[in-house]
């Protein structure tokens, strides 16, 4: 085996120069966000109070390519882009599969996940537009960490509202954000009316991502110099992530390989959109027969057991309604270790692609995915995030299917993050203490009953 | 600024093909290890029971270059070699220094430190020579993690004796080793006579690296199929680390820069030897005027307050005597967060170079180094290991000296590991809870009194 069969590394000048925006190529226009009061399409103007103007423009743009600013490209280089693409030879050998398995390394930056791909441009645009301070929410902490890092690089103050249960269970995630200079509060907090309301009811309220969003937005709109930043679901976020797939396309060509399967895990959908949309572009143009496989947890089965309809993007019912696969914004996401996949809905563009059959999805229990993670660590040497292990599990299943059928297919998956701050999940798996969750029909019906009835 | 001014990335075929062995170029032969009973030079034969034959041959070799086996090069590629070399532009700007600062990224592999550079060849040689099982000790866990990873890649069973205090305080380091398939025991344990002796005296004995070494060696010599592996100090270990400096030399040329200062932290000495020896080769041949600066903790001041004389390599007095800078093998290393620097001696070859003035050393308190770590994280975006922050601190001091003198010198340091499993150190620093330690003369005299009198 020659060494170049193991990985490809792009040079700094091969970093993409444009973001790819899939709204240019969707089979039909994306259903617009609706005002929850009037159920009429919303204009983007109210978003300008929260987001960077450039991000709002990108959110509604159908322009195919959006130039990446030079300052953003420089920050990407500093944080490890372009990232390598590996062939998982030892995993293939372990599985005795004729399939070729490749994976993109989005775990190699200091924040440890794909999240800086959008945190960097968001911080940059805010800085350029004069924002002095940002607020955001974080659950497991990956997004908060990435935005703290990006804010440090662009000298913006950052306040993070972190779900109290995570704040207490994952003190080192909090420390990491503080190392980058961010101010981190357990949510619900006494700093906002929204938070106080929940604390009045329950002084030891564990919090939720929905409450943290409400607090971050209230903090933003009540401070003149402050704006807000979001880490997934929205179009502009997915567009920023397209650097992943653009690099991967070049790298797969260097391997002289063309993926038959493109695989990723989905929470909001941004890491898988990042890898897959540049390949999906070919499929939407009839130039590719690749299959796209999105893996989600059985505990939060948005696309496998949910419905494709309008729902709130947050638990607190403060956002516009988005057309997406959802298990209902009132769904109580079980405490699985893959915290980044604990979201009731999914990105609207990805949901349309799933609904129209361009992409399919599978669901796994956390024991299954952590078992796959152990196999991956012991063969490829890399300890993946519990979220990413959903993609590893789906990949292993496809490779074993290839083995049964004797098909030498090519599989590409996104290694969206490392698991060094999630070793509790591995400890619980090794100790046989990992609990699986799966909602029954009654639980799903209950949470779906709170979804607004539209049209 | 052009992008290539930020970092250089080598292609897979630029991975070094040979190790560089500084014993070929030392100003005089290294003083031989002595038998502690007879005080006569020891032959290498007894080492064959413990170490891989190839490692023992390398230990006493004065051959300049030792070929790197193709299987080892492949494993290096899998684990991220060649590693990038970065310019710390934002740190330079923050310090407003005319100095140029560069750093080598040894934090980017799955074990998170430079340790796999020697764990990989050691596991490979053992595998090739038919070893089925290895034992080793680990304190903070970096070495145990690296050898667990390497053992997984070469399908060798591994038993790790981990200092009980670390075992209990750093459960995730233990989990990480277990994820790679290693068996990990708190030391002292009931598995060995050595361990039992200490447990009999104190059932809750916190352990020490010296006791863990004794247990790992006893486990090895009492099991026929078992050998042993060590992660620093020895010549062959330092030789393996030379891949770091060989890559860095090529990369500095790509930057069109020649380092005036080469900086690293020292515990046993292997990471700094790895970066510096390929540059030292030029200095020893009169072809370079570069200065070499080794940074150690004030809490364990081997080279700044210790003596250059023969001492045991372990606390338990079971090893040969090595000529080195030591604060005495009985020295009680204070519980600083930089666990990898808690070693009473230093590598013999490095000690000779310090003694003869080819290299100098500095010492810092842990508050100083963690402050430097915060500055580095907020400018360059990378959270370094507490050990590596000693190198960061020495670099910052040199850069500020350049500022005072108006000298545009070039500084290169080794970023030997990341700090994602050491966030407690950052938490303590941010919370103002970090305690500084420094032995007084009485403490040093006491520990030195146990050092054997030789010659």
B49 lies within 8 A of chain A by CB? no
* HEC letters along B73-114: HHHHHHCCCCCCEEECHHHHHHHCCCCEEEEEECCCCCCCEC
Q: How far apart are CA B296 and CA B351, in angstroms?
A: 13
Give, in degrees to the nearest 5, the angle at Cα A237 between A232 and A239: 135
The reply to whether residue A179 touches residue B108, judged by beta carbons under 8 angstroms, is no
Q: List the structure tokens of B185.
A: 């025991």
Q: What DSSP letter does each residue of B374-427 carry, written as one string?
A: HHHHHHH---B-HHHHHHHHHHHHHHHHHHHHT---EEEEEE-BB-TT-HHHHH
Report the chain A residue with the minimal C-alpha distance to residue B381: A149
Contact A315, A209 (CB under 8 A): yes
Residue B307, domain member (yes or no): yes
CA distance B21 to chain A (A): 25
B interface mutation test: which of A4, A110, A417 has the most B CBs within 10 A?
A110
Neighbours of A81 (CB within 10 A): 23
Q: Please, what is the average pLDDT of chain B?
A: 95
Percent of chain B with pLDDT over 90: 90
Decide if pLDDT at A66 tops 90: yes
The reply to whether residue A421 touches residue B426, judged by beta carbons under 8 angstroms, is no
Share of chain A above pLDDT 90, in %: 90
Which whole number is the average pLDDT over B236-245? 98
Is B420 close to A112, i.e. CB distance below 8 A? Answer: yes
In a domain, A403, yes or no: yes
Nearest to A381 among B79, B84, B380 (CB): B79
**What is d(CA A120, CA A55) in angstroms, rounded to the nearest whole number?**
12
Which pLDDT score, from 0 to 100, does residue B3 have? 45
Least confident of A90-104, A110-124, B320-334: B320-334
Contact state of A153 with B13 under an 8 Å Cβ cutoff: no
Q: pLDDT at position A3, please?
A: 45
Q: Compute the half-sphere exposure of residue A248: CA atoms within 13 Å on the CB side of its CA.
A: 31
Mean pLDDT of chain A: 95
Specify if B303 maps to a domain. yes
Q: Is residue A278 part of a domain?
A: yes
Question: Given this model, what pLDDT does residue B2 score?
Answer: 42
Does A36 reside within a domain? no
Residue A388, domain member (yes or no): yes
Q: Which residues form the domain of B261?
A: 10-14+68-110+241-448
Quick check: is A94 in a domain? yes
For the ranges A201-210, B24-33, B290-299, the lowest mean pLDDT is seen at A201-210
Q: B interface mutation test: which of A73, A77, A141, A425 has the most B CBs within 10 A?
A: A77
CB contact under 8 A, A175 and B426: yes
**Which residue does chain B place closest to A417, by CA atoms?**
B110
| Cross-chain residue pair A180–B13, CB shorter than 8 Å | no
With beta carbons under 8 A apart, name residues in chain A contacting B178.
426-427, 430
CATH label of the domain that carries residue A442: 3.40.50.1100
C-alpha A296/C-alpha A289 separation (Å) is 23
More confident site: B335 or A66: A66
Which residue has tokens 């459960």? B171
The number of domains in chain A is 1
Express each pLDDT in A401-420 by its tens digit.
Answer: 999 999 999 999 999 999 99
In chain B, the N- to C-terminal Cα span, in Å, equals: 59
The answer to whether the Cβ–Cβ distance between A152 and B377 falls below 8 Å is: yes
Considering the entire predicted model, what is its pTM? 0.96
Residue where the block lists tokens 């994280």: B377
Q: Which residues, 6 or more positions from B438, have their beta carbon under 8 angstroms from its beta carbon?
A: B298, B299, B301, B365
In this complex, is the C-beta atom of A124 within 8 Å of any C-beta atom belonging to chain B?
no
- Residue B285 belongs to a domain: yes
pLDDT in tens, A101-144: 999 999 999 999 999 999 999 999 999 999 999 999 998 899 99
- Alpha-carbon distance of A288 to A276, in angstroms, equals 12
CB contact under 8 A, B383 and A110: yes
Q: Do B172 and A427 touch (CB under 8 A)?
A: yes
Confidence of residue A1 (pLDDT cuts 50, 70, 90): very low
Question: CA B291, CA B212: separation in Å to the nearest integer?
Answer: 36
> Shortest CB distance from A171 goes to which of B7, B420, B427?
B427
Across the A:B interface, residue pairs with CB atoms under 8 Å apart total 133
> B176 vs A420: CB contact, 8 Å cut-off?
yes
CA distance B133 to chain A (A): 16
What residues contact A329, with CB distance under 8 A and at least 6 apart? A210, A311, A312, A313, A314, A315, A317, A344, A345, A447, A450, A451
Per-residue pLDDT of B365-378, as tens digits, reads 999 999 999 999 99
The helix/strand/coil state of B347 is coil
Using the predicted structure, report yes or no on whether residue A434 has a pLDDT greater than 70.
Answer: yes
**Residue A4: per-residue pLDDT:** 62
Give yes or no for A5 touching B (CB within 8 A): no
């Amino acid at each position: 085996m020659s060494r170049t069969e193991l990985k490809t590394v792009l040079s700094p000048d091969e970093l993409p120069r444009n973001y790819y925006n899939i709204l240019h190529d969707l089979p039909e226009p994306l259903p617009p966000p609706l005002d929850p009061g009037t159920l009429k399409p919303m204009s983007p103007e109210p978003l300008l109070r929260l987001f960077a103007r450039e991000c709002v423009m990108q959110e509604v743009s159908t322009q195919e390519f959006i130039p990446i600013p030079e300052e953003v490209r420089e920050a990407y280089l500093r944080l490890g882009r372009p990232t390598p693409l590996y062939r998982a030879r030892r995993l293939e050998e372990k599985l005795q599969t004729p399939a070729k398995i490749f994976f993109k390394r989005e775990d190699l930056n200091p924040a440890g996940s794909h999240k800086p791909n959008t945190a960097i441009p968001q911080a940059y645009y805010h800085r350029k537009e004069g924002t002095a301070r940002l607020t955001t929410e974080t659950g497991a902490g990956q997004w908060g960490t990435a935005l703290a890092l990006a804010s440090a690089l662009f000298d913006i103050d950052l306040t993070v509202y972190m779900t109290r249960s995570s704040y207490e269970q994952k003190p080192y995630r909090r420390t990491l954000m503080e190392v980058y200079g961010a101010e981190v509060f357990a949510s619900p907090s006494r700093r906002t009316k929204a938070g106080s309301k929940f604390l009045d009811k329950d002084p030891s309220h564990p919090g939720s991502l929905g409450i943290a969003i409400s607090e971050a937005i209230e903090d933003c709109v009540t401070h003149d110099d402050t704006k807000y930043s979001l880490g997934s679901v929205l179009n502009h976020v997915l567009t920023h992530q397209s650097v992943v797939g653009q690099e991967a396309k070049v790298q797969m060509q260097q391997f002289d390989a063309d993926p038959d399967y493109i695989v990723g895990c989905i929470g909001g959908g941004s890491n898988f959109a990042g890898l897959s949309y540049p390949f999906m572009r070919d499929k939407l143009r009839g130039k590719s027969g690749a299959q796209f496989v999105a893996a989600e947890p059985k505990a939060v089965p948005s696309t496998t057991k949910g419905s494709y309809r309008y729902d709130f993007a947050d638990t607190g019912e403060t956002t516009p309604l988005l057309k997406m696969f959802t298990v209902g914004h009132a769904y109580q996401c079980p405490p699985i270790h893959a915290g980044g996949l604990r979201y009731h809905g999914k990105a609207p563009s990805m949901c349309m692609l799933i609904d129209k059959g361009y992409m399919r999805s599978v669901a796994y229990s956390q024991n299954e995915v952590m078992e796959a993670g152990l196999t991956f660590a012991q063969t490829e040497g890399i300890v993946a995030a519990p979220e990413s292990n959903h993609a590893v599990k789906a990949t292993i299943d496809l490779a074993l299917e290839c083995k049964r059928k004797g098909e030498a297919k090519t599989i590409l998956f996104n290694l969206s993050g490392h698991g060094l701050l999630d070793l509790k999940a591995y400890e619980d798996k090794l100790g046989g203490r990992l609990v699986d969750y799966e909602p029954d029909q009654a639980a799903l019906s209950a949470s779906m009953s709170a979804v607004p009835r539209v049209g």
